[in-house]
A and B are shown apart, each in its own frame.
Chain A
């Protein structure tokens, strides 16, 4: 396969044992692919399963059936059946994920929260901090805040820290869950720029964006998630 991500017939149902075993079908027959340098935007109303699909691609949600093939260090790994160790290796070297909310370890300074993915990937700490700082500056986080843990920041600032953390490394796949949701116009423009730079470097991206204008600016292709609606 030439694609970075190739999803075939993936399906996900939640079984809620505490609610009498209610079955909650989320998606079924999910099939699409993403090429290097391409940004695929998932569209569909709230609850259609867009975030669930991102989480399946990240290996966070388990698939009931189907395959999620990821190009990883020259091999192809099916994340739907991979061992935990393999999933972790894919996350270290291949897939980055910008979640909707920042989930940071208490007490860790913002600069280190952003630099961490680089450090984990083997970049020396000083260089990782420098790159983290450059990105924070672009995203208009004032330098006096870098030494503080982000838990005290506003929602918009936390989201920008989260974006910086997601964009700082050179991973070939990026998953973006509403990266511009709580940002002002200036910072939205920075994110659009960052996405453009990633594309030029051949990064394959899957994004969820509700803002039509942003979607128009970043999407190379739109995948309509309603077509994967699971039969209830």
Chain B
């Protein structure tokens, strides 16, 4: 009974967090977080501001060193590596190719004054592409995939609307075919109608590309639409975790029940 399912390459975790903690002086921003993320799996980290979810995202993406614990990542050669022990070249490879990072504010993830095409093409050049025509074709193709009119390829994102900027940031991140994407409040600050379009787009891309993603959001509707699994954080700790619809439809912890009951009915 309950035997492990048939083995496949998707059966080995892509990222493993073990006992991750981060203290700022006496303040524990993140306490003892452990989980495994599998290829193609979308994990949402939810909680109010100050719950530690953004700190956790920075720890997981090696932008912040943990006070205790570690994060291991399975490199493309199949070997699991401790992120803290990676060399500079390997770390650059992750950031430029194998990972994406979608910021809440597109201005942080884009170069606002250069053209959309260059924003997408830059990631390709960083991994060694040098044929202008191919780079432009690939960039055009990606703009279309994120529903940006190819006629806008030479315009800089500072001339784009908020929703378009966010879609451009996603194209820039996905063009190198990463296996893992970190997203920090990807729909925050957008109008509701723009949010719906972006969510639909992200949902399709994630499943078509079999992407793993870790999405930080305070919006439970975003978690429901995008994620398979959810972790609820409070005071730096993970207080409840499980399948997204289980946690949202059958919340157990008092705090999760409070979050769920605070959603306005549509």
Contacts and interface: CB of A to CB of B under 8 A. Distances in A.
Contact of A84 (B228, B249, B252, B257): B228
B88 interface: no
Interface stretch (B68-76, B127-135, B150-158, B196-204): B196-204
Of listed B2, B199, B207, B229, residue having the most chain A CB within 10 A: B2
B229 A75 contact: no
A84 B227 CA distance: 12
A210 interface: no
B264 interface: no
Contact of B257 (A16, A82, A89): A16
Interface size class of B (residues with CB under 8 A): 20 to 34
Interface in A120-179: 120
A115 B249 CA distance: 25
Contacts of B257: 16-18
A169 to B, nearest CB: 16
B228 A18 contact: no
Nearest to B2: A78
Contact of A62 (B200, B225, B250): B250
Interface in A47-91: 55, 59-62, 69, 73, 75-78, 81-82, 84-89
B41 interface: yes
Contact of B199 (A78, A84, A105): A105
A137 to B, nearest CB: 25
B200 A81 contact: no
B3 A62 contact: no
Given A17-B253, A82-B2, A60 B246 contact: yes
B261 interface: yes
Contacts of A45: none
A130 B2 CA distance: 36
Interface size class of A (residues with CB under 8 A): 20 to 34
Contacts, number: 66
A59 B199 CA distance: 25
B50 interface: no
Contact of B207 (A84, A108, A120): A120
Given A55-B249, A107-B200, A76 B207 contact: no
B246 A76 contact: no
Contacts of B243: 59, 84, 87-88
B189 interface: no
A73 B243 CA distance: 21
B258 interface: yes
A15 interface: yes
A18 B250 contact: no
Given A18-B254, A61-B246, A85 B2 contact: no
Contacts of B196: 105-107
Given A17-B258, A84-B228, A84-B243, 13 more contacts: A17-B254, A18-B254, A18-B257, A18-B261, A60-B250, A61-B246, A75-B5, A78-B1, A84-B242, A85-B38, A105-B199, A106-B196, A108-B200
Interface of B: 1-3, 5-6, 38, 41, 196-197, 199-200, 203, 207, 225, 228-229, 242-243, 245-246, 249-250, 252-254, 257-258, 261
